[in-house]
Structure 1
Amino acid sequence: MPNVKVLPLLEPTVEPCCPPLTERPLTAEEAERTALMFKALGDPVRLRLFSAVASHEGGEACVCDISDVGVSQPTVSHHLKKLKEAGLLTSERRGTWVYYRVEPGVLAAMGQLLSPTAAEV
């Protein structure tokens, strides 16, 4: 029987799409992925929703707890859908409510993208 090494299962994380912007020019594919993320966050309502989820106690928020952003419930749902499509949020339905979490690793990936290279620090 061959030697088989069993690796522990790791929690899924978002791989950083790109090196820091100051390290090298982005490829076309990297720019597309990054633009999708920033475009999703470029709307003030979406940014508020993302912030509400990210800062909510326990790291997740029920849509019922974060929908007071000055727009209708269908509009909140639309914005949350856009944040999910951009890979920024995940969701889980529990009964009649949907709970949102920031996609694991996404804040670190954004931080890495915007951080200066070691030579600039």
Structure 2
Amino acid sequence: MSTPVRVPARDVADCCPPLGVAALDQDAAEQLSGALKAIADPARLRIVSMVAAADAGELCACDLPGRLGLSQPTVSHHCRVLVDAGILSREKRGTWAWYALVPGALDAVASVLTGRPARGSALR
């Protein structure tokens, strides 16, 4: 029969370093969850990726249906969700809408994924 060995209690701070980033408050969590929901869709994630990769930093809505293999109304819906979430901005030029990433909009999302503090967030 074995005898249990008693290990002296240690201060939690000795083994568990403090969090480097403050926990989200309720408002920040709601804003961030909206952004995460918006980009969680594969088509919307591809749209964000395409806009981010665009040479001019913006992309015409006319370029998206062919690249995505989706109809124009479906693409418009996905872009609207991204605009409403504060991830993309929309500028109407003639017949077409042009989309660009909102500066800093993805910083808060990246900070949650990397554990690094966000530089500034433009999320709504």
TM-score bracket relative to the smaller structure:
0.7 to 0.9
Call closer, same or farther: CA 1:70–1:117 in 2, change over 3 Å.
closer
How many residues get paired? 98
Do the aligned residues in 2 keep the contact of 1:53 with 1:66 (CA within 8 Å)? Answer: no
- Give TM-score scaled by structure 2 length: 0.71
Do the aligned residues in 2 keep the contact of 1:49 with 1:66 (CA within 8 Å)? Answer: yes
Q: Which moved more, 1:28-37 or 1:63-72?
A: 63-72
| Largest Rg, 1 or 2 | 2
Q: Post-superposition, which runs of at least 4 consecutive aligned residues in structure 1 deviate over 4 A?
A: none
- Give TM-score scaled by structure 1 length: 0.72
Partner of 1:82: 81
* Identity over aligned pairs, percent: 44
Provide the alpha-carbon RMSD of the alignment: 2.0
Call closer, same or farther: CA 1:63–1:76 in 2, change over 3 Å.
same
Q: Can you list the C-alpha shifts for 1:46-101, whole angstroms capped at 9, x where unaligned? A: 10111111111110000111222122111100000000000000011111111100
Measured in 2, the distance between the counterparts of 1:83 and 1:89 equals 6
Q: Does 1:52 align with 2:50?
A: yes
Partner of 1:110: 109
Do the aligned residues in 2 keep the contact of 1:62 with 1:97 (CA within 8 Å)? Answer: yes
1:58-77 superposed matches below 5 A: 58-68=56-66, 69-77=68-76
Gapped regions of structure 2 (runs ≥ 5): 1-18, 118-124
Measured in 1, the distance between the counterparts of 2:34 and 2:54 equals 24
Gapped regions of structure 1 (runs ≥ 5): 1-20
